Structure formats: structure tokens, C-alpha cells
Amino acid sequence: MESQLETLTTGVEGLDQLLNGGLVSGRLYLVVGDPGTGKTLLGMEFVRAGLDRDETVLFVHSEESEWDLRANANEVGLDIDDAAFLDLGPGSEFFTTDRSYDLVEPRDVSGEQFVDQLRDAIEAVDPDRVVVDPITQLEYTSRRTTSSASD
């Protein structure tokens, strides 16, 4: 007897139909596309679908502020206010305070810090669903891990 895998709705009815009910629970999915193609909107729909199911969700972001993400979601009729957010981007004070910085490779300073912050947030929130937008931070982490493994 074949068991049916549990699926999670994406929040987009047509996409769920194409996916035979949605995303398979417990798997990692990567959404790829050019800027403006709807990747963040799909993430917001996925978050809202989880909230509709009384799930705990975590939205990890590093380019847009939490306020902007909430406002953009509200503009398209999505209420994601009950989601937990982890801001991994530099706040506006990052650029306005009088600090001195040496030039370094982003992967040399962000990878370990990113992983630590993400791990702490996941342990604190214990989410059923996680959206990371954009995935660029993980790219730096994976390059560092790959290069360290070959050293």
C-alpha cells in the first residue's frame, strides 16, 4: 500500500494544483528567478498559508525591512503580521553612524554570523515553516564552507 506524503499549501491555488496538492512537508525548496518575478510574493503567500493553518512561521529577510515586507504584503491583501521575522540586513543606522570599516570579502564576515543568528531564531521560534529571502547570505556561507573543506 502506497502512503501519501503530507503536503503544505503554497498559498497559491494554481501552483498547488500543479504540485499535486502543494509542497512535500519536511523538504527544502529553492525558488529561483530574476528580480521582480514574484519570489518574495510567493514567500509571503507561503507564510500566510501557514498562518491560516495555525502554524508558526519565520520570515528571514536581509534586503527589505520588516516594515516594508508587511506593508507590501498588506498592499496585495496578505496579512502576515503574526509571522516571526528575523532581519539579517543592515539597518539604516548601519549606514548613518560614523564608523570606519576595512574592505573585506562578505563571505569572510557574514557566513558564521548568519548561521548563528538563523540557528538562534529557529530555536527560539520553533517554526513549522521558514522563508529565507533572499538566499544570498547562504551563498556566502556555502562558498566559505566549500573553500574551508578543501583547504
What CATH number does the domain containing 93 carry? 3.40.50.300
Looking at residue 151, its pLDDT comes to 46
Instruction: Give the angle subtended at the CA of 25 by the CAs of 48 and 83, to the nearest 5°.
Output: 25
Q: In total, how many domains does the chain have?
A: 1
User: For residue 27, what are the domain limits?
Assistant: 7-100+129-135
Rg (CA), the chain: 17
Whether 149 maps to a domain, the answer reads no
Looking at residue 93, its pLDDT comes to 42
- C-alpha cell belonging to residue 13: 491555488
Whether 121 maps to a domain, the answer reads no
Beta bridge partners of 132: 60
Whether 56 maps to a domain, the answer reads yes
Q: Specify the long-range contacts of residues 73-80, CB closer than 8 Å, at least 24 apart.
A: 73/44, 73/48, 76/41, 76/44, 78/44, 78/45, 78/48, 79/48, 79/51, 80/44, 80/47, 80/48, 80/51
Looking at residue 89, its pLDDT comes to 74
For 77, left (φ over 0), alpha (ψ -120 to 50), or beta?
left
What's this model's pTM, rounded to 2 decimal places? 0.75
Report the alpha-carbon distance of residue 62 to residue 133 in Å, rounded.
7
pLDDT average, residue stretch 90-105: 48
Q: Count of CB atoms within 10 A of residue 58's CB? A: 22
Q: Say what percent of the chain tops pLDDT 90.
A: 52
Whether 116 maps to a domain, the answer reads no
Looking at residue 137, its pLDDT comes to 55
pLDDT average, residue stretch 87-116: 57
Whether 148 maps to a domain, the answer reads no
